[in-house]
Amino acid sequence: MADFNAGAFKPLEVIMHLIPKGKAPDDGSDPIEYSEVPTDLPVAVRAFLQRRLRATLGGYARPVLEDPNLKSDLPSMVRDLLKNSADLVPHSCAAARALHIEQKWISSGGLVMTIIGEVAGSRCVVIAKMEHQEGLQARPTTNAQGKRTFEAQHLQDLVLGDGTRVFKAGIFIAPAGELLEGFVVDDQESAGGVADYFIHYLGCQFRQQADVQTETFLALAEKFIAQRTKDDPEANATYEIALLAELQSGNTKIRPESFAAQHLSVDDQDLFLQRVRDAGLPTKSFRKDVSLIKSKIRRLRVQTARGADVYAPPDMYEDGSLTVENDEESGSIIVVRDEVTRMLGASGKRFE
């Protein structure tokens, strides 16, 4: 799906449900205030809602793709609504309930809206959460003595105001393929981030090209390894070789959860997977494409504090031909067991 034009978005049908802050109670009770029919949209209200949602969706919207592994009911409901509005009420109620169950204990309350709309003539569905505000309305008046003053009224149910924030929103446009595609915005996260629970709630994963995802995985994994093993060269070498083996294997997918479970210490696994999520990558699996990193994964590189570099194929570490050992007096010892065929100086001169 190509980028969509948020400025062409128009809301056609809207239904709202008010959810309280925090997660749904564990006792199974349901405190949500549900609507039984869609909201009437006078011209001024429609124009205001359109303006707010265009501004939100036109921000840092990240592309997403349905992830069947998440077992979310939302994609099937969105698919129904992309065809027709027959189930708008029950599907929107189920969407609001699912969000209340999925969100965090510290999450704000607000309106969960299911919106049927169109973008440049194509039907779309928007799932959005808007903040619930309080406000003060002041009207000029005169008191009993005829003096000018202002009458103040506390508005506890102010929702659609000029300062209203659309916390989170996902837009899905009629799909061309089997999997649902769309864009997600989270106004409560910085730098274009999206809360983990909201992506899971939508039943999606971030959509990137496989080569970019693979390159991102290599970069974050190498940074993680360098930070976690800076004082442990043996652990560093073990992690690095596992990473290279993962990327050089014949597997067509990268599985971060399996990689962490098989190769990282228990203390490092959760933190590593959080780094994967922070980078916008799926933790279950994604397609591997090493075309951007071929030159980076051919050989294992061992660096020393004084600037020495030792390069070796990963299989030399696996079969013991290359070892990295600790010595209390000498520091780290790098041992390479192989036949020396040549040595070159910085100028390329060969040493006999």
Output the pLDDT for position 154: 43
Distance CA 220, CA 156 (A): 46
State pLDDT tens for residues 3-58.
Answer: 678 889 999 999 988 888 888 888 889 999 899 999 888 888 888 889 888 888 88
| Each residue's pLDDT tens digit, 216-232 | 999 999 999 989 888 88
Instruction: Give dist(CA 123, CA 214) in Å, integer.
Output: 33
**What is the average per-residue pLDDT within 334-342?**
80
Stretch among 123-127, 135-139, 262-266, 338-342 having the lowest mean pLDDT: 135-139
Task: Give the model's confidence band at 149: pLDDT under 50 very low, under 70 low, under 90 confident, else very high.
Answer: low
Residue 77 to residues 52, 115, 208: CA-CA distances in angstroms? 24, 13, 24
**Token output for 314:** 């990963």
User: Taking residues 127-144, what's their average pLDDT?
Assistant: 69
The CA distance from 199 to 283, in Å, is: 13
The DSSP 8-state label assigned to residue 179 in this structure reads S
Residue 311 · residue 338 · CB < 8 Å: no
The answer to whether residues 58 and 6 touch, using CB atoms and an 8 Å cutoff, is yes
Candidate from 70-79, 189-198, 210-219, 237-246 with smallest mean pLDDT: 189-198
What residues have CB less than 8 Å from 320, skipping those under 6 apart?
Answer: 337
What percent of the chain has a predicted confidence (pLDDT) above 70? 84
Percent of the chain topping pLDDT 90: 27
More confident residue, 154 or 181: 181
Q: Please report how many Cα atoms fall inside a 13 Å half-sphere around the Cα of residue 92, on the Cβ side.
A: 31
pLDDT at 259 over 60: yes
**How does DSSP classify residue 39?**
P
Q: For position 58, what pLDDT does the model report?
A: 82
pLDDT computed for residue 155 by the predictor: 45
pLDDT in tens, 301-327: 677 777 777 777 666 777 778 787 777
User: What is the rounded average pLDDT of the residues 120-138?
Assistant: 76
Mean pLDDT of the chain: 81
Please tell me the pTM assigned to this model.
0.57
Q: What pLDDT was estimated at residue 278?
A: 83
Average pLDDT of the residues in 182-207: 79
pLDDT digits (tens, 9 = 90+) for 276-294: 888 878 788 888 888 888 8
Average pLDDT rounded to a whole number, residues 79-91? 95
